[in-house]
Amino acid sequence: MIDKLASALKAPGEHEAFLKWLTEDIYKGKRTTAVMERLADVAKEAIEPTLLRVMGDDFLNKLKERIQRLNEGAEPAVAQEGANGVKPDSARPFEADGRAAPDEKGRAAAETTETELEFFGVVRDICVKNGAAVEDILYRDTASYFNVSFKRPTKWFARFFSNGKRKSIVTWVPVDEARAIAAGFEVEAAPAGLGTSRVFIESVPQVWALKTLVTRSLEVSKTVRDESPSSDGATHEDGKPALKVITG
């Protein structure tokens, strides 16, 4: 059983049944040869960070101790900072005092959900695999949406909406380009003032299939002026975002 599982994890594309099970929540369309090859690539890239999360600190620390015993006299290994190399503070929301502050009307700020944290984890892993430093990927929750930002909270590049009937991701990628990148997903123009394009998803694991969209939005965000901190997450009395994004 161990050999069989190891073989499937090393080459998911060569095990059709395993690949179908692994990606059943990501893609619902017709599984042509080209689609299966693309899903195999997505699955292969998702396996490494998944294994690191499963193993955890205890396993990695014990492994390092064994290596040290086998290499007596060698320099001691650097202490592991996290299950996938994440510094303890790098995955915290960007809050000045570490707590969610109430808004001007005294209403408590939004509570970050497990789904939003899962979204952040996937986006962060995609960016890190693409060369970004893990400490540069931040998140900030608001009452209306969940932002993932680069280096500072006003430099967002992925905006996650999970409170409505349908989950969606808003990015800076132009609509036509987003449609080409996110083939098989429903794509439309983002609501005015919230970004450029919006992609609808059914579950967070589908974000792995949108890795090119995520990295492209990160690239585009670097050319966009920072969003005003005072407008981030603000809402009108009717509940609609009162956000003005400066793009020029």
Same domain, 127 and 56: no
What are the distances in angstroms from CA 42 to CA 6, 21, 68, 69, 201?
Answer: 17, 14, 35, 37, 16
Parent domain of 17: 2-70
Contact between residue 211 and residue 126 where contact means Cβ atoms under 8 Å apart: yes
Question: H or E element: which one contains 198?
Answer: strand 197-201
∠ CA 70-74-78, rounded to 5°:
95
Identify the residue with better confidence: 85 or 109: 109
Tokens standing for residue 57: 């600190």
In a domain, 216, yes or no: yes
Same domain, 130 and 202: yes
Lowest mean pLDDT among 18-22, 46-50, 204-208: 46-50
In a domain, 31, yes or no: yes
In a domain, 104, yes or no: no
In a domain, 243, yes or no: no
pLDDT of 195 reads 95
Same domain, 220 and 162: yes
Give the predicted TM-score (pTM) of the model.
0.53
- Which pLDDT tens digit goes with each residue over 107-160? 345 689 999 999 999 999 999 999 999 999 999 999 899 999 999 999 999 999
pLDDT of 27 reads 73
In a domain, 142, yes or no: yes
- Which pLDDT tens digit goes with each residue over 218-233? 999 999 877 655 454 4
pLDDT of 241 reads 42
Same domain, 37 and 124: no
pLDDT mean across residues, the chain: 76
If DSSP codes are grouped into helix, strand and coil, which group holds residue 63? Answer: helix
**b/e code 45-77 from CB counts within 10 Å (16+ = b):** ebeebeebeeeeeeebeeeeeeeeeeeeeeeee
pLDDT of 15 reads 77
Rg of the chain (C-alpha set): 20
Residue 187: give its domain's CATH number. 3.90.1150.20
In a domain, 30, yes or no: yes
